[in-house]
Structures are given as C-alpha cells and as structure tokens.
Amino acid sequence: MATLDKITPRDVDFAKWYTDVCLTAKLVSYSNTKGSMIMCPNGYAIWEEIQNNLNQRIKMTNHENVQMPLFIPESLLNIEKEHVKGFAPEVAWITYGGEEKLDERLCVRPTSEVLFCEHFKNIIKSYRDLPKLYNQWCTIVRWEKSTRPFLRSREILWQEGHTMHSSEQEAKEETLRMLKVYEDFQRNDLALPVIVGRKTEKEKFAGALETYTIEAMMYDGVALQNGTSHYFGNHFAKAFDIKFLDKDNTYKNPYQTSWGSSTRMIGAVIMTHSDDNGLVLPPKIAPTKVIFIPISNDDEIKNAINKISDKLKVTYKIDVSDKSPGYKFAEAEVLGIPIRVEVGMRDLKNNEVTLVRRDTLEKIKVNVDLASDKIEELLDTIQKDMYNRALKRRNSMLYEAKNYEEFKSLALKPGFIKINWCENEACEEKIKNDFGLKSRCIIDEKSDGNCAICGKKGKVKIYFGKQY
Amino acid sequence: MATLDKITPRDVDFAKWYTDVCLTAKLVSYSNTKGSMIMCPNGYAIWEEIQNNLNQRIKMTNHENVQMPLFIPESLLNIEKEHVKGFAPEVAWITYGGEEKLDERLCVRPTSEVLFCEHFKNIIKSYRDLPKLYNQWCTIVRWEKSTRPFLRSREILWQEGHTMHSSEQEAKEETLRMLKVYEDFQRNDLALPVIVGRKTEKEKFAGALETYTIEAMMYDGVALQNGTSHYFGNHFAKAFDIKFLDKDNTYKNPYQTSWGSSTRMIGAVIMTHSDDNGLVLPPKIAPTKVIFIPISNDDEIKNAINKISDKLKVTYKIDVSDKSPGYKFAEAEVLGIPIRVEVGMRDLKNNEVTLVRRDTLEKIKVNVDLASDKIEELLDTIQKDMYNRALKRRNSMLYEAKNYEEFKSLALKPGFIKINWCENEACEEKIKNDFGLKSRCIIDEKSDGNCAICGKKGKVKIYFGKQY
C-alpha cells in the first residue's frame, strides 16, 4: 500500500515541519533555478483563490488593473535617491540581449514605484486626471541570499497598488484605506489575527514617508510581515517632475501611495493553522471545500453522495481512486480540505454519513437529507473557529514590559513584547543588539509611562518581536 | 471643449491607424523601457476578459495551473540542441545579482519547455503519474529588434500549456485538442475567422516534431499567427532523461506537447474589427458591454436609465461626466463599447430610447420597457454579425494558384494564396525569395494537382501570405 511522506512534528522542529507540510501537500517543488520555487497545482490554486478574493476588494475600492514593464533601466531606478539605496543591492541585472551587450543595464523590477512614476508623469496634467488608482498583479525579483517557500524567495508573485492624489489628506486616507482592505481580508478570509500599525523610521520602506504594516504572528511566536501600505508625500513626484494644474490654476506635485501583498500570505496561513497531519486551510480560500470518500463500491453509497453533492453550492471532490479509505482520509488531511465526508454502509443503515472537520478532526454524524445544509453551516463554523483559536493563541504570546529588566525576562519567550517608547532610534537599536528583536509596529494606543529602555518620557506604544 | 485625438483613416495608412486606435482608446502607452509597452486599464481589462474565458476552457479540459521560475540557468537551456539554437539568440541574460557576478548566466524565460521538463523529471515515475496536464499564465521575454503594441514586443503576457503523456497517440490527440480549444475560443469569443493547419518543417517551433497554428487574416490581408500547439514526441524527454515505469514493467520516455497564446490576440481583434472611429470589440470580450448616455439632466432620463439598467444581466456604465453628449458619443465609439444607449427627452415622450450599435453605427429606437431584453439580444446579434462580416472579408482575400504564373499574378494582392505543394523546401524558399511570402500552414484538404512552383506531384494543400 502506498503511504504518505512523514511530516516532522511541529513541536519537534518547526522549520522542518513547515517545509514538510509545503512539500507533502504538494504546494511547491524545488527547481534548478536557485532561489525560485515551483508553485505546483495545489499551491497555485490557493494563490488563485487569494487573488480572486483580494482582486474583488481592490476593484470595489475603485482601483484599475494595469501592467507595467518587467525591466527598469538603471537611470530610471537612480532617480529617487533613498529608493535606489534601498533596492540597488538586491536587484538582478540584465546586461545582454541575445549576443549584444546592452548600452544601459536593466534591472528586473524589485517593486515598481519608478515605473509608475514615469507613466504618471506622462498622463497626469490636470486635477481632472486625479486620483489615479492603479494596481498590478505581477512577478518581482529581489536577490535574496537564503530562501524559504512562500516566505522569502528571489522571485515573488504579488500585487502592488500605486496611486496619485491631488492632496496630502486624500493620499493619507488611501494609505489607510488599503491597509484596512488587507486587514479585513486577512482576518475574514485567511482567519489570521493581525496587528496593524506604523513602521519606525528605521524599518520603513526605502523612499516612503510612512509605512503601515500588517503583522501576523506564527504558531512559533515569530512575526510575519504580511502586507504593507506606504505614504510617499510628493517627493517621488518632485524627483520625477510630475505636475498637475490644480483648480486654482497653479501647478502642484501630486501625493503618492503604494501598497503590496504577496504569496507570503500562503506561508502565514500554513504557519498559523496547519498541524502535524498537514495543511489546514480556512474554508474561504480552500480550492476544494469538501471531499467525499466512499468506504466501499456499493450503489447506495454512490447514490447518497450524489444526493448530498447535488445540493451543495460549494466546490467539492469525490475521491473515486483505487486507494484504500484509510489512505484517502490521510491524504484529505494532508491537503487541508476543510470537511471530508465519509460515506459507508454502516452509517447509511441509519440514513447517516460522517462529517470530519479538518481543523479539529472531530467526527459528526448527520442525516443524509440534512447533510448539505449542515456542511455549509459547518464551513462557516470552521472559518470562525480557526480565527478564534489563532487569536487566543496569538494573545497568549503578547507581553508587555515596563522596564529593561522586564523586557530582558520576556525577550527569550516566543511572541511580541509591547513597550512604551520614547521614539529614539538608540533604544530600538539597543533592543536589536541586546536581544535580536526588531520593532514590529507602532500601534494606535497612547503611551502610558516611560520608555522601557531609556526611562525617558514614552511617546508611543510599540511591539517588538523576532521575524521571518 | 475637449476633443478626442484624430485617428488616421484605416485605408490611408493601416499601420498608423492601428497605432492611433491603440493609443486613442488608451489600451497601451509607451514606456522608457525600450521594447516594453504599458498596458493601461482599458487594454488590461480586455486581457482579463480573454484570460477568464480561455482559462475556463483550459480548466474544462482538465489542465491545472502552476507557476514555474522566471529564470532559466544557461546549462538548462542548453540541454535540448534544436531548442537552444532557436531561442539563445533572442533571450535576455542576467549576469549580476546585486553587486555580485553570477557563476552561471540566467536567461529570462523565452518559453518554458526546459523548466517544465526539469520538473517533470522529478515528479514522473510511473504510468500512474501520467498524464500531467499543466498550464501557466505568465510573462516571457524575447529580445525583438522592432516592436509594435500587442503584435511584437520584448515582453509578452501569455499562457503556455505543457503536458506529458504515456503514449504518442494520446500526446498527438492533446496537441489537436488544444488547437481546437484555441480555434473555438477565437471564432466564438473573438469573432475571428481563422485557418488552422500544420506548419512546414521550416516554420515549426524550435525542437518540435509538429507545430499546428491558428492563422488569422487582418483587415489589410496580412496574416497574424494567433496561437500554436506543438507535438514534441519524446526527444525532450530523452534529452532530460524523463522516464516512467509503464504497466508492462518497462521504463519508457513520455510524450510531450506544449501550446501557447498571448496578448497578440488583442492585436488581432483590433486589426480585424476596428474602424476609423476607433475600437470595435466583440461583446463577449468587451469589459463594458453597454454605456448609457443621458442627453440632459432631467429626472425622467435618470429614471429611464435606472429602469433599463436594473434589469440588465451584462456589465454596463452610465456616463454622468460633465462632457457634452456629442463628446460622450465619440468617446464610447473610440472605446469600442458594443452598444450605447442614448436617453433623451424627445425619445422618452414616446417612451423610447435609442440603441446605437458600435459595429455598424446603426440607430435603433426601442420601447423603454423592452429595452433590456432588446439590448441582450442585440449583443448576440452584434457578436454573430462581426464574425460573419470578418469571414466574408477574409474569404474575399483567399486565392488559389495552379502554377507559378498564376502565383505571380496574385502575389502582390493582399491575402493568402493556396497551392498544391510537393513538400519540397526549395519551392517554399523560392516563394519567399521571389515574392516575400511565407508559408502559413498546410491545411486538412487533399492535393488535387501538381505543385504550383516546380510542377512535380503535389502532396498537400498549403497557404502562403505575408505576416506580421
């Protein structure tokens, strides 16, 4: 009999467990192109679900999809000084086209601010041309040294929004609007409890005035930055000489935002919800929501499955392969299908089938005639329960430190530590040097004491934690 | 008053007309990255419609979407000799990652056969693993010297299917199945009359045993190759050492296909259907099917528009901008929206509105209460009429030549010339050298005479024509 590959237990070796889940559920495969992964059908199907859901939210907020070039001429990347400083060390350079050496090197886009700015310069002339609310789904490349499936790779599938506005206020509202879109999507569809806030000066995006972030906490207490939204003011617009004639008949530079999220969200889903049996997917982004497993080949079983599945409004599969029922159960678990329906003769004598929840492995016997309603109800329940369990676990790893001693006593624990902070970069540096923890984000909560590090007046509340 | 940019008449300068339509309808915009275009919201929305439609057909035929790496290590590209000979001269080479010179150059994928083969080698072990039916939507790069929007550019958005089969017959069936999928999609959704057939040895894809093609004829009689499907036999499988244990307990190399279609289809739609007023889109791929234009601000007009649009099952827009009705009419025409609905007080006195067909500019008065049904019916009529008009025009430019003199007398006419052909490459070469015409495809029609060029026995029927 065929057996599934063994998954290293999560509490024995979290990193190995993660890789095992990715490979055993056939989400990804390694390739000979160092640093790039192959997204296999099971992995890419999850990305398609995420794209569909998030794309709708992006369009509902009036953004339009476009497609910019893949390559950036070196001179274009060089226009905005902060930005190039941040990105030049990690781009891939094209130097030859066929046999011919290029006059100017091209980099593969690591992000597309400069490409959008160049285009905005051509199309924005008047206040009537604003706002421009653009988004693109594409591949970017950043030359990472070490890579891990979904979390960090040289090649990243993502969406990046780029917008231009006639006023500072409107651009700031856009920055926060899209942060909220990400937050809602991740809470409701990915069942991820997330902390939202502002990055420190040290951690913000190269060239941004303000960077807002979605910080998720993984099962092991380590942070995953799961989406960012940037406010640029108008200094890219100035560098690129983008101007519009305003209603008052004067020329002004427009105000800019950008925001991005990537396949990293799949990594967050895995590291938050999955277990030692494999993947656990929130129903809303599971490509297959239900799998029917016939225990034998009897006609009554086929009829019962048809009776239930005909009424289902969600995507389902029927496993009619020649594997054993036990193997099929294990495989459905590895793949993270939210509900499996075991249909056997013993249950059918009572006109029942057994629903098995993937998240809890709980078995529920239901009447055949009520099964389709029950399945759809149970999918909602699973979605909510997954969020609540993740929230409870996350909250159990949130700490607060009043002073350096308290910080020190908490620093080795998995999770995030909240402190009052004076906003002095020296204190942020000291935490990084002493404990290897980076700032996650400044949250929307008033400081109520002195800075936990230097003891001077606290100005904001901020979280620190280890990160992927 | 704002005016739209002038479009060069189609019969005055076809090339200029084409570019004018692309730019005036805001489908694309030029960028500073030489050879790459920007797809603006109007252009990208058409691509999204095409993707949705074609993706469904690809999934209905049991293919799964995946994502392979963007880069190919040089040694991997070099494995299959015919293939590398065809593609190496036109790839973009990455030589630096950040500051660091790479040990091995990477090219940006010009097509992904070798990447799929490398992966297939890892995942195909037994006949139970076959067939593998994969597809990906992605960007490819070919270092073209001269470029034109949608038709030819360094960067191409496309889909590429790659499949592996246990038998020659099954792989050949797959090659033809996907050719048929393309043909049906282009006829039914793009309203393109197409000729399907097999490429000659000289024109086939680098590394393929057989290449099948979809040949569309543009308004000016010039061919556009609009999708290809390749049968590879098992020689890539041999070169990559891909083997499976068959039912008879022996190791065999699987048989392979690939097939691709791209944003070039948008170019074909424009050059087949559009006119001197701008874009004309087949309803099935028009992002907006209907636009309502209120002639004045009266409440009766708003009410009538709401009454009709509430019942519509198709995507529509209401143009409530402060432009003049005349400008709005012209703009709706430039954008190619299949039906515009003019709603004015004079018509409403008779409880009527005026539908204007974009394809014929015909005006049709309809009762407000019947308008929504009539609109949906008219969309079907437009779709069919566009196909039939294009078919009639295409057929009027198909010629047949029995001998060299006849060929010579037809060679300067726009269109395709059919001949009996001996299958000798010398005759194909001679036509290219004497008249600048390339073979389009060998069609499924028996030869009924001698080769038009050399006079020897004809073996097949083949079309020749100029191409984009």
Separation in Å, CA of B354 to nearest CA in chain A = 29
Separation in Å, CA of B27 to nearest CA in chain A = 10
Q: Do B38 and A68 touch (CB under 8 A)?
A: yes
Which segments of chain A belong to CATH 3.30.110.30? 398-465
A-proximal residues of B, 220-249, CB under 8 Å: none
Q: Which helix (H) or strand (E) holds B259?
A: strand B255-262
Q: Do A32 and B76 touch (CB under 8 A)?
A: yes
Residue tagged 């797809």 (tokens): B39
B164 reaches A (C-beta below 8 A): no
pLDDT at position A3 is 62
One-character DSSP codes across A346-382: HHHHTTEEEEEETTT--EEEEEGGGHHHHHHHHHHHH
Which CATH number is correct for A66-264, 3.40.50.300, 3.30.70.20, 3.30.300.30, 3.30.930.10? 3.30.930.10
pLDDT at position A146 is 86
Which segments of chain B belong to CATH 3.30.930.10? 67-265
Domain B67-265 classification at class level: alpha beta
Q: Do B134 and A41 touch (CB under 8 A)?
A: yes
Q: How far apart are CA A327 and CA A317, in angstroms?
A: 16
Residue tagged 């913000």 (tokens): A204
DSSP A69: -
B188: closest CA among B383, B433, B328? Answer: B383
Q: Which of A33, A115, A122 is closest, CB to CB, to B72?
A: A33
The complex scores an ipTM of 0.95
Q: Which of A37, A65, A115 is closest, CB to CB, to B44?
A: A65
Separation in Å, CA of B446 to nearest CA in chain A = 41
The strand pairing partners of A426, in sequence order, are: none
pLDDT at position B365 is 98
Q: Do A44 and B33 touch (CB under 8 A)?
A: no
B-proximal residues of A, 52-111, CB under 8 Å: 64-73, 76, 88-100, 105-106, 108
Q: How far apart are CA B308 and CA B373, in angstroms?
A: 9
Would you state the CATH architecture of domain B288-382? 3-Layer(aba) Sandwich (3.40)
Residue tagged 């995030």 (tokens): A416
One-character DSSP codes across B336-383: T-SEEEEE-HHHHHTTEEEEEETTT--EEEEEGGGHHHHHHHHHHHHH
Q: Do A139 and B98 touch (CB under 8 A)?
A: no
Q: Which residues of B touch A126 (CB under 8 A)?
A: none
pLDDT at position A80 is 86
CB B263 within 8 A of CB B5: no
Stretches in chain A below the pLDDT threshold 50: 1
Q: Which residues of B touch A32 (CB under 8 A)?
A: 73, 76, 118
| Average pLDDT, consecutive stretches of 10 residues, N- to C-terminus, chain B (468 residues) | 78 97 96 91 98 98 98 94 87 95 96 96 97 98 92 95 98 98 98 98 94 98 97 96 97 98 98 98 98 97 97 96 95 97 97 98 98 98 98 98 97 97 98 97 97 97 97
Which segments of chain B belong to CATH 3.40.50.800? 288-382
Exposure string over B8-19, b if 16+ CB within 10 A, otherwise e: bebeeebeebbb
Q: How far apart are CA A118 and CA A240, in angstroms?
A: 7
B293: closest CA among B359, B360, B363, B349? Answer: B363
Q: Do B73 and A29 touch (CB under 8 A)?
A: no
A-proximal residues of B, 115-144, CB under 8 Å: 115, 118-119, 122-123, 134, 138-139, 141, 143
The strand pairing partners of B290, in sequence order, are: B316, B339
Q: Do A155 and B72 touch (CB under 8 A)?
A: no
Q: How far apart are CA A385 and CA A282, in angstroms?
A: 10
Q: How far apart are CA B464 and CA B415, in angstroms?
A: 9
What CATH homologous superfamily does A288-384 map to?
Answer: Anticodon-binding domain (3.40.50.800)
Whole-model pTM? 0.96
Interface size A-B, in CB pairs within 8 Å, comes to 154
Provide Rg for chain B, Cα atoms: 25
Q: Which of A105, A141, A157 is closest, CB to CB, to B67?
A: A157
A-proximal residues of B, 13-32, CB under 8 Å: 29, 31-32
Q: Which residues of B touch A71 (CB under 8 A)?
A: 33, 36, 92, 155
Q: Which residues of B touch A89 (CB under 8 A)?
A: 98-99
Which segments of chain A belong to CATH 3.30.930.10? 66-264
pLDDT at position B34 is 87
- CATH fold group of domain A398-465: Translation Initiation Factor IF3 (3.30.110)
B292: closest CA among B327, B343, B337? Answer: B343
A413: closest CA among A398, A392, A427? Answer: A398
Which of B23, B28, B33 has the most A C-beta neighbours within 10 Å, making it the best mutation to test the interface with A?
Answer: B33
Q: Do B31 and A119 touch (CB under 8 A)?
A: yes
Pairing of strands B339-343, B352-357: antiparallel
Q: Do B64 and A71 touch (CB under 8 A)?
A: no
* Cis amide linkage into residue A131, ω under 30° from 0: yes
Separation in Å, CA of A61 to nearest CA in chain B = 15
Separation in Å, CA of B120 to nearest CA in chain A = 11
A-proximal residues of B, 307-366, CB under 8 Å: none
Q: How far apart are CA A363 and CA A342, in angstroms?
A: 10
Separation in Å, CA of A139 to nearest CA in chain B = 8
